[in-house]
Amino acid sequence: MTMVLQKLSNQSGEMMNKKITMISGSMSTSEALKNQLIEYHEIFSDIELYAIDDYLPSIITCDLIIYSSQISYDEIQILDVSIRSKEKIIAYRTIDFSRLDKLVRLKKNEQVLVVNDTMETTVNIIDHLQAIGLEDVNFVPYYPGIDFNRAIKTAVTPGELHLIPEGIEKVVDIGPRLFDYSTVFGILEVVGVNKDIGSTYSQKYLSKIINITKNNSRFLDETEELNEQLNLILSSIDEGILVFDNQNQIKIVNHQFLKFFNMPYRNLVGQDIREIITDYDLIDFCIGIKNEHESIFHINHINLAFSRSRLSSGLIIVIVKNIEERMLETRRLNRELIKKGHYAKYTFDHIIGDSKAIREAKYVANKLARSELTILIQGESGTGKELFASAIHNESLRKNQAFLAINCSAFTDTLIESELFGYEDGAFTGAKKGGKSGLFELADSGTLFLDEIGDISPKMQTKLLRVLQEGEIIRVGGSHVKSVDVRIIAATNKNLAEMVDSSNFREDLYYRLKIGIVNLPTLRDRRSDIVPLIEHFLEGNYQMDEESEALMRQKDWKGNIRELKSTIMYMKALAKDHILTKNELPKDVYDRHKRTIALGEVEKVLLSAIYETNQSGVSCGRQTIHRLTYERLKMTENQIRGRVQKLILAGYLNNSKGPLGTFVTELGVSALEDSE
């Protein structure tokens, strides 16, 4: 398979501010690939993700579409999805080099299951494993629905641990395959940031290269190539690097390290570190006598930050940074975050309405904005919580700093912890070499908006409470305490007071958050604002007749402003001229209960199974649906996926990124009732 890259004659820098979309087989793969791209440049933090086994809209519009593989591209071609993109990349992926150590431990001629979700993807993985030099291992394909030799006790899987059959004793998880170098640089070239990666990317691969060069005899040719890359990397980065063993013998030292000590570069491999370092305190730090991991030393009239870490192999790495340059880099990073869209886009002037309820909410929020209090915004879905958070930041003393946001319901407990607090090198399987800064660090001196705060786990509640109390964080897998100056604005559509009473939310955290509380009214509690909002969403290009306007004012709008806006967009799309009438109104605005809904037997079974699962509170994914309906329908997972997709497009089902998964909509419930 080769990477397919379509490029227009646009100048390379044009993509910097354009919309980028990526489609892969699963959302976990999309997230992994997005994180890989973010490692190269923060521009990819805003990339829009879709997964074939998840919800896909009927139309996707963007400037660059990235397909995770040829398989993903081929599947999209047969689905009812219209892709409108100026450029596209069909990627080629390879195994993460940090997982190679696990693979080389497989024995020659050993029978090993390769576990994936379909026959095609499983065979693809096997071909790739053999292509990188593991042709002497007897790989056996396994995917749901086939049997295998029960004598096999070892399995390899690209992150599909839930598919591992019973009886397997040893599992080698190689994680999702990542973009290969040609794909990454192809993407970087298209978006116009290929010149920006510089030395930052280089340092992250240092430990990986060292481990591979020591342990991977099967990949000798690749090791030699990586050694050449290591030399180029070491000479290009602006941090000083010293690597030595337990006998204090130098294994690696780069030009910049020696430059800090005013020493010319020469081959020092095998020499004692005390031959280049004469400061006894610094020597004690490097060899670990002081048991410190970070310290500052004044060397040749420069304040230098030294950090020390130990690899699993026993090697010690000392990295040296110029503090003044780092401070300048931090300020530059803040400017870059704002430039990349991490700023508050709305002010109080963007909040439409003049009802008493909305005026009171704006007054309270405006007053609180000028303080440094933590703020909790409470309101139903669609009432404008993110808009208020943005406006509060823009009215605060931090308005010229970064504004970062995260939806707490969109991440698992493990993912949200690493996103918020960052992680150290080797903190967990799949962690990036060199670690990663979390949102608290990136938002230092600015504002962090925590949407759907009611969905965080008790563990995360405890960690968040520490930040609010102490202004300190500890990265996942780390022990070093870092001070951060971040203002927290949280939001929720849940009743946190009731959650406290039922012991589902920490009482001390609740009272910390509600120091500055802003309650947003529902749209049904501010009906006088419906007409001004309609006029705002009509954008001066359309008008609505009185009958339709009256019907709009009567509706309860359980989805609040978001639902109202969606309705206006729907009507504008159907309008024959610039006057919107009841003919363009969605049926549920005035005669929803008059609908005649007919379902086939398959659709009834699927809806019933999903509805019962929703009622039990269990997450409902494709595999759960397949398991619950297999006896009655005898359909494959892919067939189930197709039927579920049709039900989503019909409005009977919807997808949630939260714990519920696929769920039956009100329309779907009505359809079930009418079919009984």
Domains of the chain: 4-95+180-191 (3.40.50), 97-175 (3.40.50), 348-519 (3.40.50.300), 523-589 (1.10.8.60), 601-675 (1.10.10.10)
Most confident of 176-180, 608-612, 668-672: 608-612
pLDDT at 657: 58
State how far the Cα of 280 lies from the Cα of 512, in Å rounded to an integer.
47
> Between these two residues, 203 and 262, which has the higher pLDDT value?
262
Neighbour count for residue 595 (Cβ, 10 Å): 12
Strand partners, 489: 375, 449
State how far the Cα of 92 lies from the Cα of 187, in Å rounded to an integer.
11
Rounded to 10°, the helix 560-574/530-538 angle is 40
Q: pLDDT tier at 226 (50, 70, 90 boundaries)?
A: low
Q: Is the pLDDT of residue 663 over 50?
A: yes
Q: pLDDT tier at 9 (50, 70, 90 boundaries)?
A: very low
pLDDT at 665: 74
- What is the DSSP code string of 529-546? GHHHHHHHHHTTT-EE-H
State how far the Cα of 190 lies from the Cα of 238, in Å rounded to an integer.
27
List the strands of the sheet with 4-6, edge to edge.
4-6, 82-90, 59-67, 20-24, 48-51
DSSP letter at 80 equals S
* Coil vs helix vs strand at 480: coil
Per-residue pLDDT reduced to its tens digit, 89-127: 999 887 776 676 677 778 888 899 999 888 888 888 888
Mean pLDDT of 590-612: 71
Mean pLDDT of 381-387: 93
Mean pLDDT of 358-374: 94
Helices and strands counted in the chain (H then E) = 25, 27
What percent of the chain is predicted at pLDDT more than 70? 83
State how far the Cα of 645 lies from the Cα of 52, in Å rounded to an integer.
10
Contact 72, 23 (CB under 8 A): yes
pLDDT at 353: 93
State how far the Cα of 287 lies from the Cα of 187, in Å rounded to an integer.
42
Of 552, 432, 569, the closest CA to residue 37 belongs to 432
Contact 417, 473 (CB under 8 A): no
Instruction: Please report where in the chains the tokens 């490029």 appear, as a residue.
Output: 7
State how far the Cα of 24 lies from the Cα of 518, in Å rounded to an integer.
39
φ/ψ of 299, rounded to 5, equals -120, 125
* Four-point Cα dihedral 537, 538, 543, 549, nearest 10: -20
State how far the Cα of 585 lies from the Cα of 576, in Å rounded to an integer.
13
Model confidence pTM above 0.75: no
Mean pLDDT of 391-413: 88
What percent of the chain is predicted at pLDDT more than 90? 25
Cβ-proximal residues to 206 (8 Å cutoff; 6+ apart), any chain? 230, 233, 234, 241, 317, 433, 434
DSSP letter at 432 equals P
**Termini Cα distance of the chain:** 51
State how far the Cα of 379 lies from the Cα of 418, in Å rounded to an integer.
27
State how far the Cα of 261 lies from the Cα of 276, in Å rounded to an integer.
8
φ/ψ of 475, rounded to 5, equals -65, 155
Give me 43's structure tokens.
Answer: 């521009």
Radius of gyration of the chain (CA): 28
Give me 547's structure tokens.
Answer: 């009958």
φ/ψ of 174, rounded to 5, equals -90, 0
Contact 483, 472 (CB under 8 A): yes
Burial class for 69, CB neighbours closer than 10 Å (0-12, 13-18, 19+): buried
Contact 241, 252 (CB under 8 A): yes
pLDDT at 274: 87
β pairing state of 240-244 and 316-322: antiparallel
Cβ-proximal residues to 272 (8 Å cutoff; 6+ apart), any chain? 248, 249, 250
B/e letters for 230-254, b = 16+ CB within 10 Å, e = fewer, are beebbeebebbbbbbeeeeebbbbb
Q: Provide the greatest CA pair distance for the chain.
A: 89
